[in-house]
Amino acid sequence: MTDTIHRTPGSHVAEAPTKMTMAGAINAGLRAAMERDDKVLLMGEDIGQLGGVFRVTEGLHKDFGESRVIDTPLAESGIVGTAIGLGLRGYRSVVEIQFDGFVFPAFDQITTQLAKMHYRSQGRLTLPVVIRIPYAGHIGAIEHHSESPEALFAHTAGLRLVTPATPQDAYDMIQQAIACPDPVIFLEPKARYWDKGEVETDRVVRQLSDGESKTATAEMSQARVAREGSDVTLVAYGPTVHVALQVAEIAAAQDVDVEVVDLRSLSPLDIPTVVASAKRTGRVVVVHEAPTLHGIGAEISAAVTEQAFFHLQAPVLRVGAFHAPYPGSKIEHEYLPSIDRVYDAIERVVSH
Instruction: Encode pLDDT of 166-183 as tens digits.
Output: 999 999 999 999 999 999
Residues of the chain with pLDDT > 90, as a percent, come to: 87
Give 10: exposed, middle or buried? Use CB within 10 Å, 0-12, 13-18, 19+: exposed
Which pLDDT belongs to residue 3? 39
Q: In whole angstroms, what is the distance from residue 349 CA to residue 314 CA?
A: 6
* 145 classed as catalytic: yes
Which pLDDT belongs to residue 261? 98
State pTM to two decimals.
0.93
145, 288, 311, 352: which is the annotated catalytic residue?
A: 145
Helix axes 22-36, 167-179, angle to 10 degrees: 30
The 10s digit of each residue's pLDDT in 180-226 is 999 999 999 999 999 999 999 988 888 888 878 788 889 999 999 99
Mean pLDDT of the chain: 94
Name the H helices within the chain.
22-36, 60-64, 76-88, 107-108, 117-120, 150-154, 167-179, 203-209, 213-220, 240-252, 271-281, 296-308, 332-335, 339-350
Which pLDDT belongs to residue 207? 84
Higher local confidence (pLDDT), 143 or 300? 300
Where are the domains positioned within the chain?
Answer: 18-220, 224-350
Which pLDDT belongs to residue 329? 87
CATH of domain 18-220: 3.40.50.970
Which pLDDT belongs to residue 14? 58
> If pLDDT is split at 50, 70 and 90, which confidence band does 311 have?
very high
> If pLDDT is split at 50, 70 and 90, which confidence band does 79 have?
very high
> If pLDDT is split at 50, 70 and 90, which confidence band does 13 have?
low
Q: In whole angstroms, what is the distance from residue 68 CA to residue 238 CA?
A: 28
> If pLDDT is split at 50, 70 and 90, which confidence band does 249 have?
very high
Which pLDDT belongs to residue 11? 46
Q: Please name the fold of domain 224-350.
A: Rossmann fold (3.40.50)
Residue 287 pLDDT exceeds 80: yes
Residue 306 pLDDT exceeds 80: yes
Residue 142 pLDDT exceeds 90: no
